[in-house]
Each structure stands twice: as structure tokens, then as C-alpha cells.
């Protein structure tokens, strides 16, 4: 039993993760509709064993797969391909002929003799080019080279398509032959030796097969194929008892079954339906977890973050289900884009988009005409995420709302026209629903605030407020410990540049760096950056007492932060910025002063913990490097390089970064950035190698 409890204790995190995922799947499946199913069994060419079947409602007769495939093939066979004519090609090549002709003529006839011959030769060349480019020099791939000359095509020029036959245009080889034949017919009137190579150099294709236009046009024609043929009216007899189920009757029965099952499913299949829905939702959750496991391990390992994501998805799915039960007309009042906005506030753009896709797919199982809904919400979600890609102001939410409304309207407008080919099915009330749904997205703001407090996780909104130097705590730091405030600003700048280079939350790093030394406000005069005179209070006390005061600024800072309601993710920077390092100066001096040489090192060691993230590790490095750089009397490039290397290498040797997800490559990158910034801060010129 004890081993079981120990195992449960070790696996608590994973067990909790499994429980919240399974609970989410269960709750999501409860929101799915379940109805009884079709009660008739039938086969083609067999008698109908039931009473006369009367249509209880109107329904369309669906075409068979073979019919639809046949119609698709007919559309493909009858499709006239589009070719695009590039007018500028002919103009540019004709102009090229003019210029090269003049140059070639002057070289051959430098005395400007025979002007008549020149004019006839040039005019014949221009006439040939005009004819060829007007008819068209077409580029044909292997498929169209074997087509007969009478094959009908459509040539698009200036957005106007005109039908013609393939044989009315020239291939590049046929154009060469045409040039030779015309020149031979006029050989006694022109300089054929000069003209022929110039014309051949002036040939280029100006008619090309338009792959994009053909794909689009063919897709439109195929999409226009109706999946139904005819209607069965309510009250109309479908089949009589004992009647043989013919091919046509079978198709009608299949259509009736499809329509009936879209409305109801039988009670016997309800369990199976429930199981199927459970599998679909489970697969969606598994796909989400796999994405987090392989691409966002930091999120996967944190159950708080997973719970926040699942709660967001669950709340929106519940809201959508509730609206559908009330009235499907109000579907677009649901602020679906609120989920990617919330996820973006806590995480990044990629994760926000992925969660948005999972959410709209789950909602798509609940609603009619799910494709249009999913497409509209997918596009709107992308624009919402892009509008918050660089989140720096809360007012950006209003820009996001405007973009969501514009996207809803534009996609709805396009889908309506594409489906109906007219403006008759556009309803202004739908635009009102879009505006309402977009406006309700503003509820993301209080939800973000609520989740922030509930899960203790940072968002750019709160970090921007905390990083404001007019904040009361930072203003007091500037007044009571101005040197420390300036030090913190430099550390913030250095840390932000470093974390940007190695990948991390720049705003969190900057904000944490600003607050990391607030504990020094209790005894500002004991820290060298705040000493403005030659009086040093450390001279009046023991080295052990000095170390205690210096080390206590960490504990003082934590207490001060909690009194001022700073969040834990900021307090983490305060408690870790010295890790478990030693107040080395005072420890060394105490060892020298001690007669027996025995000193309790624990009195000179910071309480820790060590940094446990990239952000806290970078702030620790920046804090140590920036503070030590102030002790350099006349800093130069060599001294700064040695200082940075020695300090950070010592921290690595002391295993201060073993708990942080930072690599040696990251540390090397951070060193380079710190060196460069310190050189700029102290206006040190880089020593260039001598020449010669």
C-alpha cells in the first residue's frame, strides 16, 4: 500500500492531467445532439416489406455517386481551356527588333546607302512580327501538342475571353517556318540575310496556358453540379407494400433516409452514436495534446496551462450549444474569436491558431451548414490573431473587433454570392448578428483578467502595466534608491535584448528585471550604486553582518512584492536573481580576517532557488554582469570580454542554470549580446587589426 501511495504521489501531475482531459471530453460529448434513427431496411430488386411509405416532409432526391461522377466527367470533357495573352511581350519584342535592326543596318551599310531597301526590309519584318503576335505564339505543353488544330480554346486578353481554335495560332517552330517562307517570297525586295536572324531573335511566346484560371473555372463548373434531381413532396407516396425496390425507388429511399437521419436517429443507435462522438472528441483532444507535447513542452508540462486551454474551449462550446438549442438564427452572435484572443494573451500566435482550429472543428459537429461556419470563423480567427501579433495596448482589442466584423461580413458576402449567384439571399439582419458577435468579443478583456487571477499566469496586458516606470513601486525605487533604479533599467535593457535573441518572453523578462532589486529600498546606502559620498556604512560593521544585509535584499524584495500584490511570476525574478551564489567579497574578507580560518560559508550564501526558466536565468546573468562592470576603472574591449566570460562561466560552473531550459549555445549568444551592449554603454571603441 505504501508503494502505491508513493507511486501516486510521483505520478500526481500526470494523473491530474489525464483526469482533466477525460473530464473535458465527457463534458464536450454531453453537448452533442443525439436523436433516434431510420427504422426501415431495404435492398434493391427486393420487395418493400413495410406498409405504404408516405413522405412526411419535402426532400430532394440525391443523385448517385455514378451520376455525379458522370456529370463531372462531362464538365471536364466539354471544358474549353483558358490561355492568357500577354500583350506586352509582343510590344517589347517588336521594339527590340526595331533597335537591333537599326544597329545591324548601320553596321552593314555604314554609308547610309539604299534607303529604299532599308525601309522595305524593316517594314516586312514589322509586318511579320505584327502578324505573328496578333495571331499568337502559343506555348504548348505535351498534352496540348497532340490536340487537333480544331480544338476550341479561350484566350483571355484584358480580362476578356474570346473563343478560338488552337490551329489559328503559331507554335514557336511554326513561327520560324512562317518567317522563312515570307522572306523567301520577298527575297528580291529585301535583305533576307540581315532580316531572318533578327526576326528569329525577336520571337517569344505571348500566349500561355493559364493553370490558375483553368483550375478556378473548372472548379466552379464542377461545384455548380447539383447533388440532387427533383423533389418529393410531403404526402406523396414513395413506395407501396410489396412493391419491388427499383433503381430509381432505391435512390429516392436513400435520399429520404439521408434527410431523415439529418433530423433524427433511432434510440437503438444512440449508444453507438454517443460512442462515435466520444471517439471524435477524444481524437481532437489527443491531437491537441500531441501538438503540445512535441511543440510546446512548456505548456504540456504545466497543468494550469492545459486547464486554462480546456476551460476556454469548453466554455465556448457550451455557449454555442446553448444558442443552437434556443435559436440557430443567433449562431453568429456567439463570440467564437474570443478563444484565440484569450489564448494569444497568455501564449503565442501559433498556439492560439491551433486551439482556434480545434475549437471550431468541435463546434462544427454541433451545427447545421458547418462548412460555412467553420470557414468564416477560421478566417476571422486568423485576422483576430494577426491583429494581436504585437500586443502592446489594450485598445488593440477594439481594432481586433473591427477586423472580426469586417471579416465576417466579407466572407459571408462572398459565400452568399458564390452559392446563389445573386444578391437576393443577402440579409441585413445577418450583418447585425456579425456586429453583435464581434462586439461580444470584448468580453475577452474581463475573461483574461479573471483567468490571470485564477491561474496566476502573465499576459502582455498586465506586464505592460507592471513595466510602466510610473508604477508606484518603481517610482519609490527611483526616489529611494536611484542608483539601483538605473541599474535595474540597464539590466532590463540587456535582458530584453538577450531573451529576444535566444527565444523567450521579452516583456516578462523586462518586467521581472525592473523589479528584481526592489528589496534594496530597505537599506539603499549599503549598496555601492546608491552611495554618493566616500562614507561606506560597511566599514562600521562586520563582514558577516554586511553579507547578511546584502543577502537580505532578496527576502526583503519578496516581502515587499507581496505587500504590493505583485504576481508570483514577477516575484520569481526577485527570489532567483542571485540563485544560490555566494556574497564572494565579504566571504573572502571574512576568511582573511578569521584567525583560525574557519568560516561558516552558509552565512554568506543566497537562499535561492536557482533560476528555473530562460527568462530568470538571463536576468541573473545580466544583473551580475552589469553590477560588476561598474567596478571597472577604465573599461576597454578586452576587460569587458573577460568580465562577461568570467562571471557567466563561474555561474555555469556553480550549476546555477541546471534547472533552466537554457542551452550552452543560448549562453554563448547571451554573452555576445552583453559584451556588445556594455561596449556601447561605456563608449568603448572596438580595436581593429592594424594594416600592413
Question: What tens digit of pLDDT does each residue of 575-594 get?
Answer: 999 999 998 888 888 888 87
Percent with pLDDT over 70 in the chain: 91
Task: Work out the burial of residue 551: count CB atoms within 10 Å of its CB; fewer than 13 is exposed, 13-18 middle, 19 or more buried.
Answer: buried
pLDDT at residue 536, as a whole number = 82
Provide the 10 A C-beta neighbour count for residue 90: 21
Residue 509 or 390, more confident: 509
**Annotated domain spans of the chain:** 77-221, 270-420+429-455, 467-681
Asked if residue 53 has pLDDT above 50, the reply is yes
Q: Please state the rounded mean pLDDT for residues 621-629.
A: 92
Summarize the confidence of residues 12-32 as an average pLDDT.
88
pLDDT at 687 over 60: no
| The domain defined by 467-681 carries CATH number 1.10.3210 | yes
Query: Given 3-state DSSP classes, what are the helix, strand and coil percentages for the chain, each rounded to the nearest 5?
Result: 65, 5, 25
Query: What is d(CA 379, CA 343) in angstroms, rounded to the nearest whole number?
Result: 17
Does residue 209 or residue 429 have the better pLDDT? 209
pTM above 0.75, yes or no: no
More confident residue, 284 or 596: 284
Most confidently modeled range among 84-98, 123-137, 608-622: 608-622
Section 675-684 average pLDDT = 84
Question: 53 pairs with which residues across the strands?
Answer: 239
Question: 550: pLDDT confidence band, cut at 50, 70 and 90?
Answer: very high
Q: Rounded to whole angstroms, how far apart are CA atoms 214 and 485?
A: 66
The stretch 283-288 carries a mean pLDDT of 92
Three-state SS letters, 53-111: EECCCCEEEECCHHHHHHHHHHHHHHCCCEEEECHHHHHHHHHHHHHHHHHHHHHHCCC
The better pLDDT of the pair 690, 285 is held by: 285
The DSSP letter of residue 15 is H
pLDDT of 36 higher than 50? no
Cell of 237: 407516396
Per-residue pLDDT tens over the stretch 502-518: 988 899 999 999 999 99
* pLDDT top residue among 609 and 458: 609
Q: What is the CA radius of gyration of the chain?
A: 39
Check pLDDT > 70 for residue 264.
Answer: no
Closest to 331 measured CA to CA, from 373, 359, 362: 373
Identify the pLDDT of residue 44: 67
Average pLDDT, the chain: 85
Residues 136-177 pLDDT 10s: 998 887 777 778 888 888 998 888 888 888 888 898 888 998
Take residue 638 and report the three cell numbers written for it.
578586452
pLDDT of 391: 59
User: What are the start-end ranges of the H helices in 388-481?
Assistant: 396-420, 428-440, 444-455, 460-466, 472-480
Q: List, for residues 447-505, the tens digit of each pLDDT value.
A: 888 888 888 888 887 888 888 888 889 999 999 999 999 999 999 999 999 999 998 88
pLDDT band at 691 (very low <50, low <70, confident <90, very high): very low
Q: CA-CA distances (angstroms) from residue 342 to 368, 394, 403?
A: 26, 13, 16
pLDDT at residue 186, as a whole number: 87
Residue 380 φ then ψ, to 5°: -60, -40
pLDDT in tens, 407-433: 888 888 887 776 555 666 577 778 888
373 within 8 A of 360, measured Cβ to Cβ: yes
Amino acid at each position: 500500500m505504501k508503494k502505491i501511495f508513493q507511486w501516486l504521489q510521483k505520478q500526481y501531475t500526470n494523473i491530474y492531467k489525464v483526469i482533466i482531459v477525460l473530464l473535458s471530453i465527457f463534458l464536450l460529448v454531453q453537448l452533442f445532439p443525439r436523436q433516434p434513427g431510420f427504422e426501415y431496411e431495404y435492398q434493391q430488386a427486393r420487395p418493400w416489406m413495410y406498409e405504404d411509405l408516405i413522405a412526411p416532409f419535402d426532400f430532394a432526391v440525391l443523385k448517385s455517386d455514378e451520376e455525379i461522377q458522370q456529370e463531372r466527367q462531362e464538365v471536364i470533357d466539354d471544358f474549353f481551356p483558358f490561355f492568357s495573352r500577354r500583350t506586352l511581350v509582343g510590344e517589347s519584342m517588336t521594339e527590340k527588333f526595331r533597335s537591333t535592326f537599326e544597329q545591324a543596318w548601320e553596321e552593314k551599310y555604314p554609308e547610309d546607302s539604299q534607303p529604299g531597301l532599308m525601309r522595305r526590309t524593316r517594314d516586312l519584318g514589322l509586318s511579320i512580327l505584327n502578324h505573328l503576335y496578333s495571331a499568337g505564339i502559343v506555348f504548348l505543353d505535351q498534352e496540348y501538342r497532340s490536340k487537333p488544330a480544331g480544338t476550341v480554346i479561350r484566350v483571355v486578353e484584358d480580362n476578356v475571353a474570346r473563343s478560338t481554335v488552337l490551329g489559328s495560332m503559331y507554335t514557336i517552330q511554326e513561327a520560324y517556318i512562317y518567317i522563312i517562307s515570307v522572306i523567301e517570297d520577298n527575297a528580291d525586295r529585301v535583305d533576307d540575310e540581315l532580316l531572318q536572324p533578327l526576326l528569329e531573335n525577336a520571337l517569344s511566346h505571348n500566349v500561355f496556358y493559364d493553370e490558375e484560371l483553368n483550375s478556378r473555372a473548372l472548379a466552379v463548373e464542377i461545384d455548380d453540379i447539383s447533388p440532387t434531381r427533383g423533389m418529393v413532396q410531403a404526402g406523396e407516396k414513395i413506395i407501396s407494400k410489396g412493391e419491388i425496390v427499383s433503381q430509381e425507388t432505391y435512390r429516392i429511399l436513400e435520399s429520404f433516409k439521408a434527410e431523415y437521419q439529418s433530423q433524427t436517429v433511432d434510440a437503438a443507435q444512440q449508444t453507438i452514436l454517443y460512442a462515435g462522438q466520444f471517439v471524435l472528441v477524444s481524437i481532437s483532444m489527443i491531437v491537441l495534446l500531441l501538438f503540445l507535447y512535441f511543440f510546446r513542452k512548456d505548456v504540456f508540462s504545466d497543468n494550469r496551462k492545459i486547464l486554462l486551454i480546456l476551460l476556454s474551449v469548453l466554455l465556448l462550446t457550451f455557449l454555442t450549444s446553448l444558442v443552437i438549442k434556443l435559436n440557430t438564427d443567433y449562431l453568429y452572435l456567439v463570440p467564437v474569436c474570443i478563444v484565440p484572443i484569450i489564448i494569444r494573451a497568455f501564449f503565442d500566435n501559433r498556439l492560439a491558431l491551433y486551439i482556434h482550429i480545434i475549437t471550431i472543428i468541435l463546434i462544427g459537429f454541433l451545427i447545421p451548414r458547418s462548412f460555412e461556419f467553420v470557414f468564416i470563423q477560421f478566417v476571422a480567427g486568423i485576422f483576430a490573431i494577426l491583429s494581436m501579433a504585437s500586443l502592446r495596448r489594450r485598445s488593440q482589442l477594439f481594432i481586433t473587433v473591427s477586423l472580426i466584423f469586417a471579416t465576417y461580413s466579407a466572407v459571408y458576402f462572398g459565400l452568399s454570392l458564390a452559392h446563389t449567384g445573386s444578391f437576393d439571399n443577402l440579409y441585413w439582419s445577418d450583418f447585425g448578428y456579425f456586429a453583435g458577435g464581434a462586439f461580444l468579443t470584448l468580453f475577452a478583456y474581463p475573461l483574461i483578467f479573471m483567468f490571470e487571477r485564477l491561474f496566476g499566469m502573465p499576459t502582455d496586458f498586465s506586464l505592460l502595466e507592471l513595466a510602466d516606470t510610473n508604477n508606484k513601486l518603481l517610482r519609490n525605487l527611483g526616489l529611494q534608491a536611484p542608483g539601483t533604479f538605473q541599474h535595474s533599467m540597464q539590466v532590463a535593457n540587456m535582458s530584453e535584448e538577450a531573451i529576444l535573441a535566444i527565444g523567450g518572453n521579452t516583456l516578462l523578462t523586462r518586467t521581472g528585471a525592473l523589479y528584481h532589486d526592489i528589496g534594496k529600498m530597505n537599506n539603499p546606502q549599503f549598496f555601492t550604486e546608491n552611495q554618493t559620498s566616500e562614507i561606506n556604512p560597511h566599514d562600521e560593521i562586520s563582514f558577516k553582518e554586511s553579507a547578511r544585509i546584502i543577502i537580505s535584499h532578496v527576502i526583503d524584495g519578496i516581502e515587499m512584492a507581496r505587500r504590493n500584490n505583485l504576481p508570483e511570476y514577477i516575484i520569481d525574478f526577485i527570489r532567483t536573481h542571485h540563485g544560490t551564489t555566494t556574497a564572494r567579497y565579504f566571504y573572502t574578507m571574512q576568511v582573511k580576517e578569521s584567525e583560525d580560518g574557519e568560516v561558516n560559508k552558509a552565512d554568506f550564501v543566497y537562499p535561492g532557488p536557482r533560476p528555473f526558466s530562460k527568462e530568470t536565468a538571463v536576468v541573473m546573468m545580466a544583473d551580475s554582469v552589469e553590477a560588476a562592470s561598474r567596478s571597472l576603472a577604465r573599461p576597454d574591449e578586452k576587460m569587458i570580454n573577460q568580465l562577461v566570460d568570467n562571471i557567466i562561466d563561474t555561474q555555469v560552473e556553480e550549476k546555477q542554470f541546471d534547472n533552466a531550459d537554457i542551452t550552452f549555445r543560448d549562453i554563448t549568444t547571451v554573452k555576445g549580446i552583453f559584451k556588445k551592449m556594455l561596449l556601447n554603454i561605456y563608449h568603448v571603441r572596438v580595436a581593429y587589426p592594424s594594416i600592413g
